Structure 1
Amino acid sequence: MSGRSILVIEDIDCSIELENRDSKSQPWNHGNNKFSAIIISVISKKCHYKLTLSGLLNFIDGLWSCCGDGRINIFTTDHRERLDPTLLRPGRMDMHICMSYCTISEFKQLAFNNLGLRHHCLFEQIERLIKKVEVTPAEVAEELMKINDPEGSLQGLFELSSRQDN
């Protein structure tokens, strides 16, 4: 990986069977190397490499980490608890960001960022709706950006919640 680049491994808990080494079921104790293999396609070279947990850890902060400048590694997961603690420690993962459903304060920030609104007569209704309906900030932002009319954008949030009920 060259310097000034970004590596993204989505759903790392599914991509590599990086089972927590503290867990009771330890596949590496059963003569099973399946847990340590992931096939990564390198499109430019059309070849495949196998990556182990040890290899990934070395890549993140071992010898490979000194090669290149300004590299960012991003790992996503829906199950942080499944990841080995050695992968989560500071220096390997310096920042952990939980991207959950939209909260009222996030909605207000999105309304200000997208519509320039700090207050609106529909905010109270929308706040009650946000407490009931699980909607991501991305879904809210998408709805707020659809049209330039603040009233219409906010009304769209009510339609978004009714689509989710179906």
Structure 2
Amino acid sequence: MIAAMANLLNYDIYDLELTAVRNNTELRMLLTETTSKSIIVIEDIDCSLDLSGQRIKKEEKYPYTDMIMNVLAKNYLEVEAHPTFDLIQQLIEEINITPADVAEKLMPKMAAKDADVCLSNLIRALDEVKDDQKRKEVAKA
């Protein structure tokens, strides 16, 4: 498709591999060396790569975990305090789970379910995630 466009318009085609570019100066030099009638093709951009081609390790810790339970319980269950909040908070801090995953587990599946049932389901789900993560760590070792 690109070749057909370049052929029709009489343009040159340049295939740019960003992982081979070491810095902005080198990229600028490559771009200025192209002709004014050019199609520059950049494929497979990976945002997790830095200019040297090394993968960036993202920190998976989610901020504000101390407030997650209170906000989500108030939004989804209309509960501001509950005896299980401390246990749930402790489990959230121990495992690697996103606030979206917590919210999904916290949402009542039926209108008839009360806060106690939803919170106990959340505790059970968090325990399962914790056990799965422990099993994966043991399997890696």
Using the size of structure 1 for normalisation, the TM-score is: 0.42
- How does the TM-score come out when normalised to structure 2? 0.49
Larger Rg: 2
Q: Point out the structure with the larger helix share.
A: 2
